[in-house]
């Protein structure tokens, strides 16, 4: 069972915020069969299943290389470590993201520099990035929050002729397209390095923790591959001070099987989101502006009187979540680091956000019920 308290999700009995067990119902037998095969083989860490999934996921994203690792946080940390940057080099990240983005930067001995998001958009502001770029800036981490893609093309234009690397956080954007370019390319193939999480609640979720790093750069690939395995690709030869962050065969096998349903499930999520967009008709509710190919890991609305709406949702047995109640500058562990820094759009989102159910198998009757309650608010 997923620990949903991590995301501040209130799950009630009749309607579920996300139903992991039901999502995999059609492919469960295949998953179990593959699980048994791996047990019999006794091949658990960095085996053929991992290599197979790395190749399949690289192909799915349109990237040349993919490296599996233990989780999404490690993916960002490993990507940053692969650059071998001087200590306290500056890394630009959005003020509104999950804590992992900031923690990965800090754990790589680098300095996170916060940038506000755009008004009513969940993604980093180009105007504010420009203000924060300086001689110490070495990396920008755009976060495709809720599965809504960032304006990567114009971020690249901002840093043209500068020695700045783009590592995008794709933890919520499996299968989304880079809507900033005319050619149809998936997120995970258009930045220097891209990092994914396969936490169970993601659009593509494992039955435990797992992560992936994609790149088109062979040099980055070779270094990243070593760093995730204690700095080594040959037993007892450690070229880097690496991390113990290896993807296991069982999770790789599960993810490889589930990958075939990802596009179908993303299509269902988009339909649910469009239903919300079309039918929510209440001036008290603000709808965010999402990218064209958004895969809606979450569908988030903003309301000023959040407590009142929560009470109404709970009364009607409608589950909800908060993604995320605290921007990075307001996290308890980082308040001193970002003392006196203000990010109004991110802070507003934190105070007013409510995530609505967007599980691919959400029924039309439950959708209509949610709309009815929201419009009555």
- pLDDT tens digits for 23-70? 788 888 888 888 888 888 877 888 899 999 999 999 999 999 999 999
Closest CA to 300 of 285, 312, 283: 285
Q: How far apart are CA 159 and CA 85, in angstroms?
A: 17
Q: Are 92 and 140 in contact (CB under 8 A)?
A: yes
- Domains of the chain, earliest start first: 25-260 (3.40.640.10), 262-376 (3.90.1150.10)
Q: What average pLDDT is seen over the chain?
A: 94
Q: Rounded to 5 degrees, what angle do the CA atoms 308, 311, 316 make?
A: 130
How confident is the prediction along the chain (377 residues), in pLDDT tens digits per residue?
Answer: 444 444 444 444 479 898 877 878 888 888 888 888 888 887 788 889 999 999 999 999 999 999 999 999 999 999 999 999 999 999 999 999 999 999 999 999 999 999 999 999 999 999 999 999 999 999 999 999 999 999 999 999 999 999 999 999 999 999 999 999 989 999 999 999 999 999 999 999 999 999 999 999 999 999 999 999 999 999 999 999 999 999 999 999 999 999 999 999 999 999 999 999 999 999 999 999 999 999 999 999 999 999 999 999 999 999 999 999 999 999 999 999 999 999 999 999 999 999 999 999 999 999 999 999 999 99
pTM attached to this predicted model:
0.93
182-200 tens-digit pLDDT? 899 999 999 999 999 999 9
- CB 251: neighbour CB atoms within 10 A? 21
């Amino acid at each position: 069972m997923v620990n949903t308290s991590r995301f501040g999700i209130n799950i009630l009995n009749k309607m579920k915020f996300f139903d992991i067990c039901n999502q995999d119902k059609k492919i469960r037998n295949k998953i179990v069969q593959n699980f048994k095969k791996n047990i019999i083989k006794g091949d658990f860490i960095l085996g053929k299943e991992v290599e197979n999934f790395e190749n399949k996921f690289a192909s799915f994203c349109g990237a040349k290389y993919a490296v599996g690792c233990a989780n999404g946080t490690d993916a960002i940390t490993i990507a940053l470590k692969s650059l071998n940057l001087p200590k306290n080099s500056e890394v630009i990240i959005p003020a509104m993201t999950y804590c992992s983005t900031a923690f990965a930067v800090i754990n790589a001995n680098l300095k996170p520099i916060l940038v506000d998001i755009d008004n009513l958009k969940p993604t980093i502001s180009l105007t504010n990035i420009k203000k924060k770029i300086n001689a110490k800036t070495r990396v920008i981490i755009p976060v495709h929050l809720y599965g809504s893609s960032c304006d990567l093309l114009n971020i690249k234009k901002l840093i043209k002729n500068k020695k700045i690397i783009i590592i995008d956080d794709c933890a919520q954007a499996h299968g989304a397209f880079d809507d900033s370019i005319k050619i149809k390319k998936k997120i995970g193939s258009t930045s220097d390095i891209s990092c994914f999480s396969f936490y169970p609640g993601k659009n593509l979720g494992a039955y435990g923790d797992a992560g992936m790093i994609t790149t088109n750069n062979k040099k980055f690939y070779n270094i990243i591959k070593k760093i995730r395995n204690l700095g080594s690709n040959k037993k007892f030869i450690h070229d880097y001070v690496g991390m113990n962050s290896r993807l296991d065969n069982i999770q790789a096998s599960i993810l490889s099987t589930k990958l075939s349903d990802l596009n179908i499930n993303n299509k269902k999520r988009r339909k649910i989101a469009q239903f919300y967009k079309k039918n929510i008709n209440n001036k008290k509710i603000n709808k965010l502006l999402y990218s064209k190919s958004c895969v809606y890991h979450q569908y988030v609305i903003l309301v000023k009187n959040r407590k009142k709406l929560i009470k109404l949702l709970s009364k009607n047995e409608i589950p909800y979540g908060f993604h995320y109640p605290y921007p990075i500058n307001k996290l308890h562990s980082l308040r001193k680091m970002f003392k006196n820094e203000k990010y109004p759009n991110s802070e507003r989102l934190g105070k007013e956000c409510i995530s609505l159910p967007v599980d691919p198998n959400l029924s039309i009757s439950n959708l209509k019920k949610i709309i009815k309650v929201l419009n009555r608010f």
